[in-house]
Amino acid sequence: MQHKFITTVLGTLKPNLLQSLAQVSREMGASWETSKVIKLDGQFVAMMRVMIDRDKEQALKQALEQQFAALTFVYAEYEQQAIHFSTECKLTLDCNDRSGLTHDMNAILNDLEISVDHQECYRVQVTSLGKTVYSAKLTLRLPENVTMELLLSQLESLSDNVRIDVEK
């Protein structure tokens, strides 16, 4: 019987590391249904939804941890989404920076039960303005009960001079 679980892997990025992880998974009879990888300053985090025969799952986890001892592995059960998402949107939010801005933005998204598929946040010092500007690039999936107007009104409350560009 096939079983799905989520694997999160983190550590120092080395050449062909992700290909090696995938090869070990394939050799053990597993497939990655989907994956996301983030690389930053020589480090990486990867999340994969893995499907494998239930009786081979433990052997796969042991093989990965033994062959890649320098990496950290975290496992979680895969759960089907109970929320139905109707709209995908991509947007860029720019505003004056302040402490706690990313936390507050994520709190709004969580409160509205919005799924975050991609999020990149930057802070840039603009010397000509004497300010730090905050920019976030987001790919979101909205639940059926959340309109774009509601999302934008909530995000506009985050800081002064909020500008949100929605990709068409």
Q: What is the pLDDT of residues 4-42, one digit of tens each?
A: 999 999 999 999 998 899 999 999 999 998 888 888 899
Where along the chain do the CATH 3.30.70.260 domains lie? 2-77, 85-166
Q: What is the pLDDT of residues 61-108, one digit of tens each?
A: 999 999 999 999 999 988 765 556 677 899 999 999 988 899 999 999
Residue 143: per-residue pLDDT: 87
**85-166 is a CATH 3.20.20.70 domain:** no
CATH superfamily label, 2-77 = ACT domain (3.30.70.260)
Residue 82: per-residue pLDDT: 53
Q: What is the pLDDT of residues 136-154, one digit of tens each?
A: 999 999 988 888 999 999 9
- Cβ distance 73 to 65 under 8 Å? yes
Residue 136: per-residue pLDDT: 95
- Cβ distance 80 to 130 under 8 Å? no
Residue 83: per-residue pLDDT: 54
Beta bridge partners of 50: 5, 32
Cα gap 161→166, rounded to integer Å? 16
Residue 99: per-residue pLDDT: 87
Quick one: which of 134, 137, 123, 133 has its CA closest to 166? 137
